[in-house]
Structures are given as structure tokens and as C-alpha cells.
Amino acid sequence: MLIYDPPLKDEIEAFGTAWCGPEMYEIHKAHLIARYNPPDDKVGQPVEIICTPMPTRFYTIRVLEVPISTGGICPAYELGTGSSMAMLTAKIGEAIADGMLGLHNS
């Protein structure tokens, strides 16, 4: 039996104009809900936000690979959050796309 649940109002508001999620979630299924693209004058990476409702929300911040001007590549990576962290997830996604937050191997 499939169970459906609508996105929460505060969840949609947290992602603002980046929101691209469905009108209804299928419980226990991953859904693309937001996209952040770097502004033309920034060196950030594109970000996709995935929500898996259970019925609390768990988010995956999927950072996409991009080429850099020196000929290298900024690799793709993912971060995950605990339940109900929409605002934090949105802020992290936006910061990565703006080039203000990144992951570096030491």
C-alpha cells in the first residue's frame, strides 16, 4: 500500500524559489525538491536537494561535479541531514551554489 503526504508549508518556504518538489510525497521514496545553481559571477557548484519522507523529512544535499577554470574538476559529493532540517539544508545548498561553502580533501 502506497502512503502519500503533502510537503509542509515551512518546508516549501525554506527552499523558496529553489523549490521544485511534488505536490505529494510518496512515503519512503526519494524526491527531488530543490535546485540551486551558481550565479554566473560565482564559482560554486550546482546543488540538488533530495527529500525522503518517513513521515519526518530526511534530506540529501547532492552537489554536482563541475569543471574549474584551471582545467581540473570540483568533484561531486553528498551530505545528509537528520530529520526535519529543511532550513539548514536550504542554507547549505544555497551557500555551496554561491561558492561560500565547499568540501576539500586534506
CA distance 65 to 67: 7
Q: CB under 8 Å, gap of 24 or more: what pairs does 23-31 form?
A: 25/51, 25/53, 26/2, 27/2, 27/3, 27/53, 27/54, 27/55, 28/52, 28/53, 28/54, 29/53, 30/60
Q: Total structural domains in the chain?
A: 1
Is residue 25 domain-resident?
Answer: yes
Q: What confidence category does residue 2 fall into, taking pLDDT thresholds of 50, 70 and 90?
A: confident
pTM above 0.75, yes or no: yes
Q: What is the pLDDT of residue 72?
A: 86
Structural domain including 52 reads: 4-97
Domain-embedded: residue 102? no
